[in-house]
Amino acid sequence: MRALRFRTFGDSSVLHYEEYPTPEIKSNEVLIEMKAIGLNFADIYRRKGNYHLEGTPPYLLGYEGSGIITQIGAAVTDLQVGQRVAFADVPNANAEFVAAPVDKVIPLPDFVSYETAASVLLQGLTAHYLTRDSYTIRPKDLVLVHAAAGGVGQLLTQIVRLHGAIPIGLTSSMEKADIAKQAGAEHVFLYSDNWVEQILTLTDQRGVDVVYESVGSTLMNSFEVTKIHGTVVFYGMAGGDPVSVDPRFLMDTSKTLTGGDLWNVLTTREERIRRAGELFSWLESGQLQIASPTTFSLSDGQRAHDYLESRQSTGKILLLP
C-alpha cells in the first residue's frame, strides 16, 4: 500500500507519499480500506513535534477516517467484511489501509457517507463532550465560541442552539462571520476589533456564561468576557500557547477554568457508538448541518497541510486515498 509519512519534524515538506507495508491485523482488529481521512490541527502539531507521537520514525499521521472492512480478526464476531465503518481515534490513518481495534470501530448508517463520517466524527464528538462533559449547556446560556467558522466552531454553535442557549461567535474576517451566522451564531465579532469591549457592552458588562477557548493566546481575554461564576473551557491552542494561570486569579474572580481531552471521554466502544449515534441522529433530522469538506488526494498531503495552516478553511479538510 501507499501512505503519507515523515521521518523528521518540520514543515509540510517533511511529508512524503510512498510505499509502506500493509498492516497485519491482530485477532481483535479489522483491516479497513480507507475511503476518506480527516485532517486535523493535531496532525500539524505532531508533524512539528509539538504533540505526542508513539514509536519511532518514520511516522504516520492521522487518527480519523472512514472506509470499508476488508478483513476481520479471529476474535471479531459483530463486524463483517464489506461493512462500512469509521473511527475517530485510530492511529496511522494516513494510509490506504488501517488496522483498527474492534472497540474503536463505529458502524455507519446507510445515510452517512464516507466523507460525512470523516468530517463529523472527531470534531463532532469533540463538540459533543465540550457541551455535555466539560460544561453542561443550559437553556438561555450566553456562550462565546472562538473560531466559530471553523469545523468544531460551527458544530459547537449548532449544538449550543440545539440546547436552547445563545451562541456568540468570534472569527477573523467578515466572510467567516457570515459562515458563523449561517451556523446559528446570534452575534459575531471580529478578532481585529475590540471584541472584549463589544461583548461586555452586549451583555451589559455582565459577561457570558461560558467561553469555548480554542485559540490559546486569547485565554486571558476570554476570562475578561466571562461572568462571575462563569467558565472558560480550554480545548485548543491554534493561535499560540496560553499564558500560565495563577490559581489565586481563579479564586479572586470566582471563575472556573476547565479543559478536556476527547480520549478521556471515549473510554469504551459503547461510549463511542452512543455519542456517535446522537450525532448521526442530529444529521438525519437536519438539526446538525455539515459544511462541504475541502478534499485533497492523500498523495497531495503537503498542500493539504499548508491549506489547514493558512487558516483559509472554514470546514473540514479530507484526504482521499
* Shared domain check, 220 and 273: no
In a domain, 218, yes or no: yes
* Shared domain check, 308 and 227: no
* Shared domain check, 18 and 51: yes
* Shared domain check, 93 and 168: no
* Shared domain check, 60 and 165: no
* Shared domain check, 44 and 95: yes
Q: What are the CA-CA distances from residue 65 to residues 22, 82, 259, 262, 294 (Å)?
A: 17, 16, 25, 16, 15
Between 269-285 and 114-129, two packed helices, what is the crossing angle to 10 degrees? 110
* Shared domain check, 173 and 155: yes
In a domain, 129, yes or no: no
Which of 235, 259, 283 is the last residue in one of the domains? 259
**Amino acid 90: pLDDT:** 94
* Shared domain check, 221 and 115: no
* Shared domain check, 286 and 220: no
Report residue 234 as a C-alpha cell: 480550554
Q: What are the CA-CA distances from residue 306 to residues 61, 134, 278, 289, 319 (Å)?
A: 15, 31, 33, 26, 13
* Shared domain check, 88 and 19: yes
Q: The domain containing residue 170 runs over which residues?
A: 139-259
Which of 259, 283, 309 is the last residue in one of the domains? 259
* Shared domain check, 192 and 236: yes
In a domain, 8, yes or no: yes
Q: Which residues contact 281 (CB under 8 A, 6 or more apart)?
A: none
* Shared domain check, 247 and 276: no
In a domain, 126, yes or no: no
Start-to-end CA distance of the chain, whole Å, equals 10
Q: What are the CA-CA distances from residue 280 to residues 90, 93, 204, 270, 293 (Å)?
A: 20, 22, 38, 15, 17
In a domain, 134, yes or no: no
Burial tier of 158 (Cβ tally within 10 Å: 0-12, 13-18, 19+): buried
C-alpha closest to that of 83 among 25, 41, 33: 33
As for how many domains the chain has, the answer is 2
Provide the CATH number for the domain around residue 84. Answer: 3.90.180.10
In a domain, 13, yes or no: yes
**Amino acid 55: pLDDT:** 82
**Amino acid 29: pLDDT:** 98
In a domain, 127, yes or no: no
d(CA 146, CA 249): 22
Q: What is the sign, positive or negative, of the torsion defined by CA atoms of 211, 217, 220, 225?
A: negative
User: Is 235 in contact with 212 (CB distance < 8 Å)?
Assistant: yes
User: Is 29 in contact with 46 (CB distance < 8 Å)?
Assistant: no
d(CA 79, CA 71): 10
**Amino acid 109: pLDDT:** 97
Provide the CATH number for the domain around residue 187. Answer: 3.40.50.720
In a domain, 101, yes or no: yes
Rounded to two decimals, what is the model's pTM?
0.90
Which of 213, 230, 259 is the last residue in one of the domains? 259
The per-residue pLDDT string of the chain (321 residues; one tens digit each, 9 = 90 and over) reads: 999 999 999 999 999 999 999 999 999 999 999 999 999 988 998 999 987 787 889 999 999 999 999 999 999 999 999 999 999 999 999 999 999 999 999 999 999 999 999 999 999 999 999 999 999 999 999 999 999 998 899 999 999 999 999 999 999 999 999 999 999 999 999 999 999 999 999 999 999 999 999 999 999 999 999 999 999 999 988 788 899 999 999 999 999 999 988 889 889 999 999 999 999 999 999 999 998 899 999 999 999 999 998 877 777 999 999
- Give 3-state DSSP helix, strand, coil % of the chain, rounded to 5: 35, 25, 40
